[in-house]
Structure 1
């Protein structure tokens, strides 16, 4: 059970409209001491994890799949800065929350250190980064308290995207996505009336045979779209089930987008020439198809938000 102690704050609200980051320092003296303590805790923790953090940044900069990691801390800080119009969560101490988060972080740290020689660089960094994020959460519970952590759960939880996906997870997602994308492409080919004979992941088209390789799974675009849906649902929707609908929608959307990309490449090879398999639209066309997927995504977000606002105006939930 959490032990709540510390002083409540009267007459103000953390993060209310117009306060921004200045609200951090509008607390009375004892509360500001907690904030300074947490800031110092973060500084010390960062120094202790400086080597794995540096390795993580280099790894993310060199990885197409994990390049989003470089932006995660800045996005989390922005999301925290715009927590507006919420009642103040008094700063306190939650030993229970700190203990749970700290125990999980310590387990990840010991696993990362103890097994690092048997792990890939990516998996080792995943464990050490998970430990770092866990210790950040433990410090949040210790210095700011359970109520504050709950009130700011989304920005705090968003830091989990700093953790690289383990190799086994990436492999499983790529295989599943590639198979689903091949099924979507087969549907598109039949829809367009294109003669095609499919054998597993291989499509035999007039003049060329295409194989949907695991590398063609589109997992990076799908991951970015998934993260985008989480941020958009948090910022623009209030209803939990509408948020869930938006996030769930990006899963089939990512599959259909990747299947459409396979269709376009196949049709270009059939109608323009087999050399189109080496065209930029194949090797560098990911951003283009990702941008196209944002059109239905934006339409669904607009529709959900419109329905929600209409229901609110009518006095519903």
Structure 2
């Protein structure tokens, strides 16, 4: 009917249909990545906001409909190259089963499909709604160790400034009223991600100037960090002053969220004082009927065919690639123990690293010529996927909430294996025990990977070597190796214990390598 504004302008119908179809193909082709992302939203309070991010982005796009209506969508050529890069990122991430890479690549493909079909001018008009979609990607866990360290630093400093004596080992500390530890929930990552996500949306909707938006975003980052430090200090103080009757159980979390909610609420109330007026309707609207030009009918569909080629290319490469992955079950071969070392009936400790979903594991104990004990743990991986993978952030020496063991120090040291230098990850572990800290068993552990026939302690190098192994046909076999030795007492020098671990590598390194190679090639 004449005189009635069309919901979708005629020149937008074909490009919009092509864009919707392309999004559907992307989600179907990369369903595993999309489903994995949704499962993280469902099980993690930190990333639960991911469910509403796409809805908010669609609403933000709808708000721009008056600006978009007169634009004529024209495919952007450079978008194909960028989409190819995102597809390559997904392929690389899938080869090494890195969720963050594949999920980031998926969202990037969805975002780039807009300029690929509708052009860069349309994409610029939708820059924030499209960019906001990246908040749906559950990335941020890499910040946990640093945030936990900062929380522990501030809490201990504030307690000592309050006149309370504190004994600290790593993320564990003891005050006269009891022992406390900084775990993942104390890191403040939930508060930080929530504040940045909501703060970014608030700044976009409330301010027109870039400077105001950037200042508010800096505040949105700093406030939750400092608020979390103060929260941790207040919780310990409440527990200490109440004789551990409050702020130690469920109310620990309640007080945390209540305090955070108040602080963030105050932050937004203050930010609201400088809100800019929204553009008037006359500024936003373009006279009806003024369309910039026309576009050939077949252009959106040609752009769609090109996009399909880019989107589906990684799956074709995976299907054609000879990954060389063995399907036979793993039977780990125990290294042959040569003199002066001797195998023992039991490992020197009941501790086991928290490595998950290994294809097979090996635990054995040894002693050297002076009857000094040492333990060897090997977790072997084959046919790796997103659940069973050699390099994973969830595979750690000790879980932060382990009721028996705690990691009290960590770092890296220079070692040697088969005459070649090897940088290994080092950690001191302490057992929770009644009595004084000195009564608890302590272990010095060295950790490193064996992948594609080489050794490394670097997660990044391990991932790269794993991808190269699959591409080259070597296979995806790999092993997580830990050697450890008890510290005879709390005062024993780690240098002496390190020398014992290095002595094992010098004497038994060849046998360890031979056992791994035999496991890989065993029929």
Q: Which moved more, 1:98-107 or 1:204-213?
A: 204-213
**How far off is 1:201 after superposition?**
4.4
Aligned partners of 1:238 and 1:37: how far apart in 2? Answer: 32
Q: Does 2:197 match 1:227? A: yes
Residue 195 in 1 paired to residue 164 in 2? Answer: yes
Matches within 5 A, 1:50-199: 50-83=31-64, 86=67, 88-96=70-78, 98-116=79-97, 123-124=98-99, 126-165=100-139, 170-171=141-142, 173-186=143-156, 188-189=158-159, 193-197=162-166, 199=168
- Tell me, what secondary structure is at the counterpart of 1:65? coil
The structure having more radius of gyration, on CA atoms, is 2
* Higher deviation after alignment, 237-246 or 130-139: 130-139
Aligned equivalent of 1:270: 240
Secondary structure, in 3 states, of the residue corresponding to 1:223?
Answer: helix
Asked if 2 retains the 8 angstrom alpha-carbon contact of 1:90 and 1:147, the reply is no
* Shift, 1:198, TM fit: 5.8
Alignment of 1:287 with 2:257, yes or no, is yes
Q: Alpha-carbon deviations, 1:66-114, whole Å to 9, x = none? A: 2222222111111212236647443211111x22331222112211332
Indicate conservation of the 8 Å contact 1:104/1:134, yes or no: no
Greater shift, 277-286 or 105-114, is seen at 277-286
- CA separation in 1, counterparts of 2:154 and 2:223? 11
In 1, Cα distance between equivalents of 2:274 and 2:145: 32
How many residue pairs were aligned?
Answer: 271
Return the offset for 1:183: 4.1
Partners in 2 of 1:129 and 1:35 — Cα distance?
Answer: 24
CA offsets, 1:210-240, max 9 Å, x none? 3333441010121011111100000001111
- The answer as to 2:15 corresponding to 1:37 is no
Alignment of 1:237-252 (within 5 A): 237-252=207-222
Report what 2:427 is aligned to.
none
- Normalized per residue, which structure has more helix? 1
SS in 2 for 1:210: strand
Q: In structure 2, what is the equivalent of residue 13 of structure 1?
A: none
Q: So what's the TM-score if we normalise by structure 1?
A: 0.76
Contact 2:33 2:106 in 1 (8 A): no
Segments of 5+ residues of structure 2 without an aligned counterpart are: 278-523
* CA RMSD of superposed structures (Å): 2.6
**Is the 2:224–2:264 Cα contact (8 Å) retained in structure 1?**
no
2:271 and 2:66 map into 1 onto residues whose CA distance is 23
Aligned partners of 1:140, 1:265: CA distance in 2, in Å?
A: 48
Higher RCO (C-alpha 8 Å, min separation 6): 1
Query: In the alignment, is the contact (CA less than 8 A) between 2:22 and 2:113 conserved in 1?
Result: yes
Match of 1:46 in 2: 27
User: Is the 2:40–2:138 contact (alpha carbons within 8 Å) kept by the matching residues of 1?
Assistant: no
Q: Deviations over 1:30-82 (max 9, x none)?
A: 33211111112112222222233223212320122222222221111112122
Kept in 1: contact 2:235–2:247 (CA 8 A): yes
- Counterpart CA distance in 1 for 2:218 and 2:264 is 15
- Greater mean deviation of Cα atoms: 72-81 or 279-288: 279-288
Q: CA deviation at 1:208?
A: 2.5
Give the deviation of 1:281 after TM superposition.
2.5
**What is the rounded CA distance, in whole Å, between the counterparts of 1:210 and 1:113 in structure 2?**
39
Distance 2:183 2:34 in 1: 32
Q: CA deviation at 1:152?
A: 0.6
> Which structure shows the higher strand fraction?
2
Q: Secondary structure at the match of 1:195?
A: coil
- State the TM-score, normalized to the length of structure 2: 0.48
How far residue 262 of structure 1 moved from its aligned partner, in angstroms, is 1.4
Segments of 5+ residues of structure 1 without an aligned counterpart are 1-18, 117-122, 310-317
More displaced, 86-95 or 242-251? 86-95
Secondary structure in 1 matching 2:246? helix
- The 8 Å contact of residues 239 and 248 in structure 2, kept in 1 or not, is answered as no
